[in-house]
Structure 1
Amino acid sequence: MTWRAPEITRTPEPLVADERTMLEGWLDYHRQTLLVKCAGLTAEQLTTPSVEPSGLTLLGLVRHLAEVEAWWFRENFAGETVDYPYFTPERPDADFDVTGADAEADFAVFHREVELARAAAAGHSLDETFTEKTPKQRTFNLRWVYTHMIEEYARHNGHADLIRERLDGVTGD
Structure 2
Amino acid sequence: MPENDAARGRVGPPLVADERTMLRAYLDFHRATLALKCADLTDEQLRRAASPPSTLTLLGLVRHMAEVERAWFRRTIDREDVPLVWSERGDFQEAYDASSATRAAAFAAWEAEVEAARRIEEAAPSLDVTAPHAKTGEPVSLRLVMLHLIHEYARHNGHADLLREAIDGTVGA
Q: Which amino acid aligns with 1:51?
A: S
More helix by share: 2
Identity of aligned residues (%): 48
- Secondary structure class of the residue paired with 2:123: coil
Task: Tell me the residue number matched to 2:13.
Answer: 13
Q: Distance in 2 between matches of 1:67 and 1:83?
A: 9
Deviation at 1:85, TM superposition (A): 2.1
Task: Tell me the residue number matched to 2:133.
Answer: 132
CA RMSD of aligned residues (A): 1.4
Residue segments in structure 1 that go unaligned for 5+ positions in a row: 1-6
Residue segments in structure 2 that go unaligned for 5+ positions in a row: 1-6
| Comparing 120-129 and 107-116, the one that deviates more | 120-129
Taking structure 2 as the reference length, what is the TM-score of the superposition?
Answer: 0.91
Q: Which portions of structure 1, spanning 4 or more consecutive aligned residues, are displaced by more than 2 angstroms?
A: none
May I ask how many residue pairs the two structures share in their alignment?
166
Q: Distance in 1 between matches of 2:143 and 2:73?
A: 11
Taking structure 1 as the reference length, what is the TM-score of the superposition?
Answer: 0.91
Q: Counterparts in 2 of 1:13-162, with a 5 A limit? A: 13-89=13-89, 91-124=91-124, 125-134=126-135, 136-162=136-162
Q: Which amino acid aligns with 1:25?
A: A
Deviation at 1:167, TM superposition (A): 0.4
Task: Tell me the residue number matched to 1:3.
Answer: none
Deviation at 1:144, TM superposition (A): 0.5
Aligned CA distance change for structure 1 residues 130 and 90 (closer, same or farther; 3 Å): closer
